[in-house]
Amino acid sequence: MGAALTDAMRRVGYAVVATALSIDATDADDLLTVSGDITEAETASRVVDQAVARFGRVDCLVNMAGVHIDKPFVEYSIEDYDAMTTVNLLGFFHMTQCTLRQMLTQGSGHVVNVTTSLVDHPRSQRPSSLISLTKGGLDAVTRALAIEYASRGIRVNAVSPGVIKDPRYDDASYEGLAELHPLGRLGKASDVIDAILYLDGAGFVTGEILHVDGGQAAGG
């Protein structure tokens, strides 16, 4: 989904800085790639420093990285806990803190966090309490940061997707999951990307958790 978002943002005129543990270098004028582990503060510093050096400012940060491990709560190991909290929370902390410092110097900016509908609608057939613990933290901090920085010209929002089909997995992996959504289908990466682009252009929206879940948040 990160690669699809990068392509979509470039198509509508953004210059993009993309970061991942492993990412190919590019000579495109509107794309800068930075390899690194977002759970390390040094990576966040490099991403922001290189973004400013190349493009002069940072207007939007999308926190999309995430680890999702489904298990009954009593079966989680400390390794599972560490994997999910370091990426889902510590990675968010480093990237957002470094980016907000830059946005404060600019007097403007926008942060979009990608969470999950499981925070609001846990499923008994697929227990996933640690994703709710970590991504639920992003739900809460989205509202807190939106209020903290509203007077400084910075907006903070979140997108909360339902089940989004990943082309890396076969159809059998998603059997029965479309029924979780009142619209009766699985989500696509483009559904989430459309929501991110909407929020970035919606200058009077902040502190919003935008559910992209086929109506799941409304009930059904």
Residue 17, classed as helix, strand or coil, is strand
Mean pLDDT of 40-69: 96
Q: Can you give the pLDDT at residue 54?
A: 96
Q: Is the pLDDT of residue 124 over 90?
A: no
Q: Which residue segments constitute the domains of the chain, with CATH numbers given?
A: 62-218 (3.40.50.720)
pLDDT more than 70, % of the chain: 95
Among 79-83, 120-124, 175-179, which stretch is predicted with the lowest mean pLDDT? 175-179
Measure the CA–CA gap between 171 and 187, rounded to whole angstroms: 13
- If you ran DSSP here, which 8-state letter would residue 72 be given? -
Mean pLDDT of 102-116: 97
pLDDT more than 90, % of the chain: 74
Q: Can you give the pLDDT at residue 207?
A: 98
Q: Can you give the pLDDT at residue 61?
A: 98
Mean pLDDT of 42-53: 97
Q: Is the pLDDT of residue 27 over 80?
A: yes
Q: Can you give the pLDDT at residue 49?
A: 97
Report residue 118's pLDDT band, with 50, 70 and 90 as the boundaries. Answer: confident
pTM of the model: 0.92
Report residue 125's pLDDT band, with 50, 70 and 90 as the boundaries. Answer: confident
Where residue 109 falls (left for φ over 0; alpha for ψ -120 to 50; beta otherwise) is: left
Q: Counting beta carbons within 10 angstroms of the beta carbon of residue 35, is it exposed (0 to 12), middle (13 to 18) or buried (19 or more)?
A: middle
Measure the CA–CA gap between 27 and 20, rounded to whole angstroms: 17
Q: Give pLDDT tens digits for 156-205.
A: 999 999 877 776 656 666 666 777 777 777 778 899 999 999 999 999 99
Report residue 90's pLDDT band, with 50, 70 and 90 as the boundaries. Answer: very high
